[in-house]
Amino acid sequence: MATKKAQSADPAGYAEAMREVESILSELDSPSVDVDVLSTKVERASFLINWCNERISSAQMTVDALVADLGVFEEEDDDDFEDEDDE
């Protein structure tokens, strides 16, 4: 049951999750890695990586929606910007 607890413990944020993944990778890279906890560590790293990917996807959708609402990157605005660079 410890595996379920390890998986379900969400990190406080993206940076914390990445630090934990890096820590796990360092442990796994060690020649003295405990084989008894290997699968638990890999499972936790997998959970954290998926969690981070979900956060990135969510942030990307939010940014895309905000940019679309602002109308910042309309094609004609891009053309005007390129013309200014050519002068």
pLDDT, tens only, 13-50: 999 999 999 999 999 998 888 888 999 999 999 999 99
What is the pTM for the complete model shown? 0.68
85: pLDDT confidence band, cut at 50, 70 and 90?
low
Domain boundaries, the chain: 13-86
Q: Which residues contact 11 (CB under 8 A, 6 or more apart)?
A: 17, 20, 48, 51
Token digits of residue 56: 């990135």
